[in-house]
């Protein structure tokens, strides 16, 4: 990885300290990334972060090394607003992180869902994800990647199976 590359990262924010700073985990770097409200220029993002409940918001960000510490450079709360040039490498990294990384598999699966909803992940790539060994080990994670409409379709087909069983008995 080139030091000059700007890489899109993500984290589920678990806590922001009262003084307006916190640390974000990274899918690229071992150390946590320092974050401070003063770096957030978008007032809507600031309000979202200030009003958040613990652990309920995902942020997408880029970071840079400054004075020996990694710090947030740019930040988004909506994947659809991220610079699209950052998306292709991020998609590859998320798939790798889902299968081999240290990030909670359900958090990574949620990001896969967000990428799908933003049309950044095509169906053939999603099908490949569904064939990964991680899915076999933890099949319940699939529900974290599906849209509400897909979940409704699955439940409907489950109901058909159950209804068919009652008719046969």
In the chain the first and final C-alpha atoms are separated, in Å, by: 61
**Residues 128-139: tens digit of each pLDDT:** 999 999 888 888
CA distance 113 to 145: 4
Q: Which residue has the higher pLDDT, 17 or 64?
A: 64
Burial of 59 (0-12, 13-18, 19+ CB in 10 A): buried
**Nearest alpha-carbon partner for 10 in 76, 98, 55:** 76
pTM of structure: 0.82
Domains and CATH numbers, the chain: 1-77 (2.40.50.140), 87-169 (no CATH)
**Residues 41-92: tens digit of each pLDDT:** 777 777 777 666 555 678 899 999 888 889 988 888 899 999 999 999 999 9
DSSP string, 25-85: --SS-SSPEEEEGGG---HHHHHHHHHPPTT-EEEEEEEEEETTEEEEEEEES-GGGS-GG
Query: 């076999």: which residue's tokens?
Result: 136
């Amino acid at each position: 990885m080139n030091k000059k590359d700007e890489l899109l990262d993500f984290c589920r924010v678990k806590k922001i300290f009262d003084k307006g700073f916190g640390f974000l985990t990274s899918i690229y770097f071992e150390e946590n990334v320092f974050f401070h409200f003063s770096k957030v220029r978008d007032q809507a993002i600031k309000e979202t972060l200030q009003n958040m409940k613990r652990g309920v918001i995902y942020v997408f960000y880029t970071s840079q090394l400054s004075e020996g510490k990694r710090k947030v450079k740019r930040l988004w709360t909506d994947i659809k607003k991220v610079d699209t040039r950052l998306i292709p490498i991020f998609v590859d990294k998320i798939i790798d992180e889902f299968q081999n990384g240290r990030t909670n598999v359900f958090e990574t699966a949620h990001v896969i869902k967000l990428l799908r909803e933003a049309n950044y992940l095509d169906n053939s790539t999603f099908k490949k994800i569904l064939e990964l060994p991680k899915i076999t080990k933890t099949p319940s994670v699939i529900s974290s990647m599906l849209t509400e409409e897909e979940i409704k379709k699955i439940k409907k087909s489950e109901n058909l199976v159950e209804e068919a069983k009652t008719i046969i008995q």
